[in-house]
Amino acid sequence: MKLKAYFLICCVVISCKTRSDKPKNETTESNNLSEQGNNSIEKNKFSEYLKAIPFLELPYSTSCDDDYENPPELDQKLKKKYAGGDLESPFRRIPNNQDLEVILNLAPADVLLPIVKIYDKNGYLKASQQLFFGYCGGEPGYYHKEYITINPNLTIEHIDSTWMHKVDSLENEIKGTEKLEVETYKYEISKTGEIKKIK
């Protein structure tokens, strides 16, 4: 009798365990299908966003007083989703032979600031780098300008130049006091989507 009772208890435990396992497997499969569907939808939305952005011809050089003509017309919801809110706007795609999408965005400040953004093929943002430091122009005794060049090998060269003079009480530049400071920076976009400062 005890043996029969033990056998019945074992059967009930095994049956309960089998039943509890089945919904977990079904739920996992359902979650995987849902995730795949969401990825497909995101990829389609990102593809639509990319189609509206023309490619940049490389090498491409610009300075902080560029007016960046002919910005693309975009769906505002997609722009807000992928460009980074209301402030940034995509200007051009940067061609590359890697499994990445590289876009040159612009953001308003005293001048338009170029920002490189790197995405995977589904529109997930992997990295972002502002290329100008923000101040461009001058005043008596001081003038600052920045330049960038984006190369076909996905390196970015940045030149930051400052021209200074001493001035008199009327803010006239005093001859012989000129001073030019030039700093150069170099960035590289890696195959994994990182932006690395290499100089």
Q: pLDDT tens, 150-160?
A: 999 999 999 99
Using left for φ > 0, alpha for ψ between -120 and 50, and beta otherwise, residue 164 falls in beta
| More reliable by pLDDT, 100 or 42 | 100
- At 25 the pLDDT is 55
Token pair of 10 as six digits:
């074992």
Token pair of 93 as six digits:
């795609």
Residue 186 has pLDDT above 90, yes or no: yes
- At 38 the pLDDT is 56
Q: Cβ(84)–Cβ(117) under 8 Å? A: yes
pLDDT confidence tier of residue 187, bands split at 50, 70 and 90: very high
Q: pTM of the prediction?
A: 0.74
CA 52/CA 182 separation, integer angstroms: 37
pLDDT confidence tier of residue 40, bands split at 50, 70 and 90: low
Q: In b/e form, how buried is each residue of 86-104, taking b as 16+ CB within 10 angstroms?
A: eebbbbbbbebeeebbbbb
Residue 116 has pLDDT above 70, yes or no: yes
**Omega of the bond prior to 108 within 30 degrees of 0, cis?**
no
Give the pLDDT confidence of 2-28 residue by residue, as tens digits.
444 444 455 544 455 444 444 555 555
Match 């990829």 to its residue by tokens. Answer: 43
Residues 6+ apart with CB under 8 A from 141: 164, 165, 166, 167, 171, 173
Q: Cβ(112)–Cβ(38) under 8 Å? A: no
pLDDT confidence tier of residue 54, bands split at 50, 70 and 90: very high
